[in-house]
Amino acid sequence: MPVFETQVSKQVMSTYLTYLECTACGDRHTPHEVQTVCRSCGKILAARYDLAKAKHEISRKWFRERSPEMWNLMPLLPLENPAHVVSLGELVTPLIRLATLERRLGISRLLIKDESRLPTGSFKARGLAVAVSKAKELGITRVCIPSAGNAAGALAAYAARAGIEAHIFLPEDTPRINISECIASGAQVELVRGTISDAAKAMSERRREHPDWFDVSTMKEPYRLEGKKTMGYELAEQLEWILPDAIVYPAGGGTGLVGMWKAFEEMAELDLIGSKRPRMIAVQSEGCAPIVRAFDQKRRESEFWNNAATIASGLRVPKAFADYLILDILYKSGGHAVAVSDEEIRKAVADVARAEGLYCCPEGAATVVAVEKLLHKNILTAADSVVLWNTAAGTKYAELVERL
């Protein structure tokens, strides 16, 4: 293997990116300028590609003939120039069969996509790798983020690699390792009492003095979503284009869920898959479950969750900016939303590690608890094939282990 520099192979094609479209009002925005949210209505922008044209080149054969790392999806990523890629060696994450848990739970096929292998030990690397690369391409030199922890660690690392200044706002009780990784990478860190929502408020106050800080908050710029979308393509390719019956995903801000769904829609337009979609299932913690509450009440948007508290720090998001997109996907996929308790999560971290040798983060362990609950309620059945998401390494949560 050559020394790692960047994973983009020499023969990459240029992007089919055409415009940015508002997910609420449909207004179009140019991708050639710095964009945040929709200029007309303030909602989320999504990158759109010329898929009718891309279809002539991008086929299952195209996928077979290239190496599968995420940056080789360049034609369907937003960078104009591959020289702007900021990469730390994003590997294809393994899809691991949980045979012991299959027997124990009585389900025919249970797989987990282990995102802990990515740079900075979490799936947040995907979104931030793309967002930082695009920021660099657009000439941005300073970025800021409020984060539950892992997104901050990933931003700090990619910003350091890109030579971009990073300003990070974290709840003061964020897992220690997340704080250390930001400091280690030279980011400016401010700790804030409360949740990610309070961190976001503190950040917006500080931005009054620093209007040049570019905000990479979840869904407040269009490109983290594009990075997260690669989870959908990678999963489909690993499963030889036969998607599972259900995907069980620990949802905080929901970028992964929305990103995967976006990938499936693009893949269908590219004739890579048919019309069957997995049922998308969002898992939250009982201490912060705004999406579950909204789903149970058949709402299209969530309400702010007061006094949010959970050991699954990535799920401590009192109000997701993308709630309307998450809920829409849950409804149209015939999916579900389920809350699990911290005690169940804590037990599942140990159970999964002991049964399968896989030391999940609490958010990942929550998906195992969710499957058990949904089987009991007959929302999932023994015949279903299910893919879970371990979104980060268990080793990033030192405090939790000390108390196990």
Ligand X SMILES: Cc1ncc(COP(=O)(O)O)c(C=O)c1O
Q: Measured between alpha carbons, how far is residue 282 from residues 144, 187, 194, 275, 340 in Å? A: 27, 32, 24, 21, 11
Identify which range of 39-47, 128-136, 251-259, 300-308 contacts ligand X by CB under 6 A: 251-259
Identify which range of 12-20, 75-83, 145-153, 329-337 contacts ligand X by CB under 6 A: 145-153
Residues 156-215 that bind ligand X (CB under 6 A): none
Provide, rounded to whole angstroms, the least separation between the CB of residue 262 and ligand X. Answer: 13
d(CA 126, CA 140): 19
Identify which range of 68-76, 83-91, 200-208, 244-252 contacts ligand X by CB under 6 A: 244-252
> What are the strands of the beta sheet with 165-171, ordered from one edge?
188-192, 165-171, 142-146, 214-215
Look at residue 22 and give the partner it binds from Zn ion, ligand X, none, a contact being a CB closer than 5 to 8 Å depending on partner kind. Zn ion
Q: How many residues bind ligand X (CB under 6 A)?
A: 18
d(CA 202, CA 277): 40
Residue closer to Zn ion, measured from CB, 38 or 361: 38
Assess contact for 368 and 388: CB atoms under 8 A: yes
Binding ligand X (rule: CB under 6 A), the pick from 171, 222, 250, 318 is: 250
Assess contact for 145 and 152: CB atoms under 8 A: yes
Q: What character string, x for contact with Zn ion (CB under 5 A) and - otherwise, covers 30-69? A: --------x-xx-x--------------------------
Binding ligand X (rule: CB under 6 A), the pick from 31, 175, 222, 254 is: 254
Look at residue 221 and give the partner it binds from Zn ion, ligand X, none, a contact being a CB closer than 5 to 8 Å depending on partner kind. none
Binding ligand X (rule: CB under 6 A), the pick from 251, 294, 374, 387 is: 251
- Residue 82 within binding range of ligand X, rule CB under 6 A: no
Q: Which of 378, 351, 376 lies closest to 362 in space, CA to CA?
A: 351
The residue ranges of DSSP E strands in 196-237, in sequence order, are: 214-215
Assess contact for 169 and 200: CB atoms under 8 A: yes
- Residue 132 within binding range of ligand X, rule CB under 6 A: no
Look at residue 250 and give the partner it binds from ligand X, Zn ion, none, a contact being a CB closer than 5 to 8 Å depending on partner kind. ligand X
Quick one: which H or E segment has residue 259? helix 255-269
Binding Zn ion (rule: CB under 5 A), the pick from 16, 20, 21, 22 is: 22
Q: Which of 127, 126, 122 lies closest to 220 in space, CA to CA?
A: 127
Assess contact for 349 and 341: CB atoms under 8 A: no
- For ligand X, the binding residues (CB under 6 A) are 122, 148-151, 218, 250-256, 314, 361, 363, 391-392
- For Zn ion, the binding residues (CB under 5 A) are 22, 24-25, 27, 38, 40-41, 43
